[in-house]
Amino acid sequence: MRPGRPRCPRRIEREPDITYFKPRGIPLNELGVVIILFEELETIRLTDIEGMEQEQAAQLMGISRRVFWEDLQSARRKIAEALVEGKAIRIEGGSYRVENKRWHKCQNCKNEWEEHYENGKPRKCPKCDAVNINKNPLDENGQGSEKGCGEYSNKSGNAEG
């Protein structure tokens, strides 16, 4: 049996400060534990807290809508299991990179800069006012630094975690 494709790193805004939840009054050593990956928690945050549509949230995380939906369903199933069966929830691990900015490159003057995702695509280059802008200087040929892993990668191509 061949191993599956490696899991592509998902882009998350940040790791949570609190990574453990447990039912009150039951010692931890008596509880089962459900593990939610950092990127699964990010899907919950984007859809259920931020109210984003799955297509928009998937783009923000740099993955397909189908992969986003699978991560979201996995997270919701794990949370439901913990609540119904009285298990602890530990948030850890996964395949992700912490990144809340996107790199851009002007095709005219070759200026590179970064902006927060919330700002959307810039309308023009801040240096020369040209409108011919590439979202990812590492992906000019459509390959990207993380082949097959989504629309964008970070400038360095490094994954954290």
Instruction: Check: CB of residue 61 under 8 Å from CB of residue 124.
Output: no
Per residue in 5-28, pLDDT (tens digit) is: 677 888 888 888 899 999 999 999
- The tokens 């975690």 sit on which residue? 161
Please write the tens of the pLDDT for every residue from 93-136: 888 888 766 777 888 998 888 777 667 678 889 899 988 887 65
* 47 pLDDT above the threshold of 60: yes
Would you say the pTM of this structure is higher than 0.85? no
The per-residue pLDDT for 159 is 35
Report the alpha-carbon distance of residue 42 to residue 67 in Å, rounded: 13
Cα–Cα distance, 1 to 108 (Å, whole number): 49
CA–CA separation, 144 vs 134, rounded Å? 12
| CA–CA distance, 126 with 130 (Å, rounded to integer) | 8
Q: Which residues pair with 89 in a beta bridge?
A: 21, 34
